[in-house]
Amino acid sequence: MKLTSITELLKQGVVLGDGGYLIELERRGYVDSGSGREKVGTGRGSGQFTPEVAIEHPEALLELHREFLNAGSQVLQALTFFGTREKLNRAGYGAEIESINAAAVKLAREVGGDRALIAGSVSRTQLTEREGMDSLGKSSDHIAEQIRLLKEAGVDFLILETFFHLAEMKVALKSAAAAGLPAVATMSFRPLILQSTDGHTPAECARVMADLGAIAVGANCEQDPVRMLPLLREMRAATKVPLAAQPAAFHTTEQCHSFTRLPAFPDDLETIQVSRREFIEFGKHAQNEGIGFLGGCCGCNAAYIRSLAAGLAHQI
Ligand SMILES: [Zn+2]
């Protein structure tokens, strides 16, 4: 692949991203799920899943990047998810914020070379879950700090992902614009796909994110492709910018559309794993559904990205 910008790449067809890092590295023994200390999955921002693996076990992260690249990823995400000072502080790594973010970008670039674009991953701070909307000013400062670090480390663009509140996503998009970095923006909907945690429909989220300059808007995490598709269609009808979709590989239920709210999270995830077949089918229909940026989230290792690539090669 001749490297170009993400905006140019989106014009050329469906861009294939990568999969989920933290749960895969947790399964391999390098990331702490936090389930030994806190109740994870409460929606109160508990749990760990932080990216210190970038400085503690860089070889493990390099290997996972290589696997995604080998599977066909055109974009590698630096593992900077949950890499704000606020979240790292609570995991005991606040003092390492600069080194973790810098190392994560360097490792992704080392593997991506001239074959893949490098995206900085920026997620919610968890302050809104813990402290409410009055904390948005603090969130803004933390997100702006991380985006500054990612820009200094040389990312090509940002993926703003796993935001539960549209209000916090707006803050993140403003920080990305202020830093001059293009941003793909994806919300995570829970407990149902009908609205964000602060009460906005997928269509409203799509419109607002596009209006604030996101180059692609959509959803990531929480739902498998089949469960996520209706909300993506609602977004498709509301905006002209390309859709971004990074579904998880875990089954959910009619009563609860988010796997992180199910009892299986995080220690019984193997019991709700979605097979790769669903990702082949999703890849086949991606272009028709208006998806411009396609990847996977939690539960998607390189095998799932290969499946998406196989689907994309047989577009319907
Ligand atoms: Zn995820």
For the chain, count helices (H), then strands (E): 13, 8
Distance 247 CA to ligand 1 centre (A): 7
Judge whether 203 lies within some domain. yes
Tens of pLDDT, residue by residue over 240-298, are 999 999 999 999 999 999 999 999 999 999 999 999 999 999 999 999 999 999 999 99
Report whether 241 contacts 268 (CB < 8 A).
Answer: no
Q: How confident is the model at residue 36 (pLDDT cuts 50, 70, 90)?
A: confident
Judge whether 1 lies within some domain. no
User: Rounded to the nearest 10 degrees, what angle do helices 58-71 and 302-312 cross at?
Assistant: 20
* Cα distance between residue 150 and residue 120, in whole Å: 6
Distance 194 CA to ligand 1 centre (A): 18
Distance 94 CA to ligand 1 centre (A): 22
Distance 56 CA to ligand 1 centre (A): 22
CB neighbours of residue 58 within 10 Å:
15
* Cα distance between residue 249 and residue 1, in whole Å: 28
Distance 220 CA to ligand 1 centre (A): 7
Q: What is the DSSP letter of 307?
A: H
Judge whether 239 lies within some domain. yes
Check which CATH number belongs to the domain holding 186 and give it. Answer: 3.20.20.330
* Cα distance between residue 17 and residue 3, in whole Å: 14
Distance 19 CA to ligand 1 centre (A): 9
* Cα distance between residue 196 and residue 74, in whole Å: 29
- Looking at residue 33, its pLDDT comes to 87
* Cα distance between residue 106 and residue 58, in whole Å: 10
Q: How confident is the model at residue 236 (pLDDT cuts 50, 70, 90)?
A: very high
* Cα distance between residue 296 and residue 131, in whole Å: 30
User: Would you mind telling me the total number of residues written for the chain in this entry?
Assistant: 316
* Cα distance between residue 30 and residue 241, in whole Å: 37
Res 40 pLDDT > 60: no
Distance 284 CA to ligand 1 centre (A): 22
Judge whether 223 lies within some domain. yes
Report whether 93 contacts 54 (CB < 8 A).
Answer: no
- Looking at residue 227, its pLDDT comes to 98
Judge whether 308 lies within some domain. yes
- Looking at residue 243, its pLDDT comes to 98
CB neighbours of residue 310 within 10 Å:
16
Q: How confident is the model at residue 91 (pLDDT cuts 50, 70, 90)?
A: confident
Distance 9 CA to ligand 1 centre (A): 24
Distance 221 CA to ligand 1 centre (A): 4
Report whether 221 contacts 204 (CB < 8 A).
Answer: no
Mean pLDDT of the chain: 95
Distance 2 CA to ligand 1 centre (A): 29
Peptide bond into 266 cis (omega under 30): yes
Distance 250 CA to ligand 1 centre (A): 10
* Cα distance between residue 221 and residue 216, in whole Å: 16
Distance 114 CA to ligand 1 centre (A): 27
Distance 143 CA to ligand 1 centre (A): 19
* Domain of 231, in residue numbers: 6-312
If 0-12 CB within 10 Å is exposed, 13-18 middle and 19+ buried, where does residue 271 land? exposed
User: Rounded to the nearest 10 degrees, what angle do helices 202-211 and 166-179 cross at?
Assistant: 20
Residue from 122, 195, 133, 187 nearest 159 by CA: 122
Q: Please give the tally of structural domains in the chain.
A: 1
Residue from 75, 308, 315 nearest 184 by CA: 75
